[in-house]
Amino acid sequence: MIRKAINDDIEIILKIFDVSRNYMKNNGNPTQWPDSNYPNIDIIKADILNGNLYIVERDGKVAACFSFILGEDSTYANIYDGEWLNNNAYGTIHRLASLGITGGIFEEVFKYCADMMDEIRIDTHKNNTKLRKKLIENGFLECGVIFVEDGTERIAYHYSRCNSSNK
């Protein structure tokens, strides 16, 4: 089940991000979320306030969280070494993280988001091979490179329900 996050979820969300940071660090991706300052409590509170933060529950327990933001994302305004599949309205998945207690989280999140929008964009660090594989398996296409707020490079992906090469 997926539901919107509320302020009472902040403690478990912080734990999810800590678990994910450690997982990335110990599995070849130490620089995507290199310190405990990202994602931080201010980002979490803003996402909750804006209605963009979601909780994934399994068997009544929190298993993961993610942000799904509808509309243009300024981070995606410029793409290098490629191009977006189209300029249609889209939603963006950000800060997808899990406690690692159950599988199939990405697929559930993707289905949830795809039920809301035909176009979805997401980015990740080049060393996040697990997510990059999941993206391709679920019909996302690698479109190029973007730079996030801190100036670091991310690989940008785009899913378009209308694109015949997607699932």
Which pLDDT tens digit goes with each residue over 48-103?
Answer: 999 999 999 999 999 999 999 999 999 999 999 999 999 999 999 999 999 998 89
Query: Is residue 121 scored above 80 in pLDDT?
Result: yes
Instruction: Give the span between the Cα atoms of 22 and 138, in whole angstroms.
Output: 25
pLDDT-above-70 percentage for the chain? 96
Exposure pattern of 39-61 as b/e (b: 16+ CB <10 Å)? beeebbeebbeeebbbbbebeee
Tell me the pLDDT band of 150, cut-offs 50, 70 and 90. Answer: confident
- Residue 34 pLDDT: 75
Region 135-151 average pLDDT: 95
Asked whether residue 4 carries a pLDDT value surpassing 80, the answer given is yes
Classify residue 5 as exposed, middle or buried by CB count within 10 Å of its CB (0-12, 13-18, 19+): buried
pLDDT of 135 strictly over 50:
yes
Residue 165 pLDDT level (bands cut at 50, 70, 90) = low
Global pTM reads 0.92
Q: At 43, is the pLDDT very low, low, confident or very high (cuts 50, 70, 90)?
A: very high
- Report the pLDDT value the prediction gives residue 110, as an integer from 0 to 100: 97
User: Is residue 26 scored above 90 in pLDDT?
Assistant: no
